[in-house]
Amino acid sequence: MTAVDSRTITVKEAVSRVTKAIKKDRPVFIWGPPGVGKSEMCQYIVDSGELGNAKLIDIRAALLDPTDVRGFPAPDLANNRMVWLPPVDFPTEKEAAEYDNIVILFDELNSAAQSVQAALYQLILNKKVGQYVLPKNVKLVAAGNRESDKGVTYRMPTPLANRFVHVEIRADFDAWLDWAVTNKIHEDVVGYISFAKADLFDFDPRASGHAFATPRSWSFVSQFCEDNDMSDAELTDLVAGTVGEGIAVKFMTHRKYAKDLPLPADILAGKVKECRVKEISAQYALTIGMCYELQSTFETIGKEDTNAWHKLADNFFRFMMDFFPTEMTVMGCRVAINQYNLPFQPDKLKNFDEFYNRFGKYVAASNED
| Mean pLDDT of the 118-145 span | 90
Element (H, E) at 138: strand 138-144
Closest CA to 131 of 68, 89, 66, 71: 71
What percent of the chain lies above the pLDDT cut of 70?
A: 96
Is pLDDT of 317 > 90? yes
Q: What is the DSSP string of 278-321?
A: --HHHHHHHHHHHHHHHHHHIIIIITT-HHHHHHHHHHHHHHHH
| Residue 151 confidence (pLDDT) | 60
Q: Write the pLDDT tens digit of every residue in 217-265.
A: 999 999 999 998 999 999 999 999 999 999 999 999 998 888 888 999 9
**Average pLDDT of every residue of the chain:** 89
| Residue 6 confidence (pLDDT) | 60
Neighbours of 133 (CB within 10 A): 15
Q: How confident is residue 3, by pLDDT bands cut at 50, 70 and 90?
A: very low
Q: Write the pLDDT tens digit of every residue in 92-118.
A: 999 999 999 999 999 989 888 888 888
Is pLDDT of 1 > 80? no
Q: Counting Cβ atoms within 10 Å, is residue 347 exposed (0-12), middle (13-18) or buried (19+)?
A: exposed
Is pLDDT of 194 > 90? no
Q: Write the pLDDT tens digit of every residue in 135-159.
A: 999 999 999 888 766 665 678 888 8
| Residue 2 confidence (pLDDT) | 43
The model carries a pTM of: 0.75
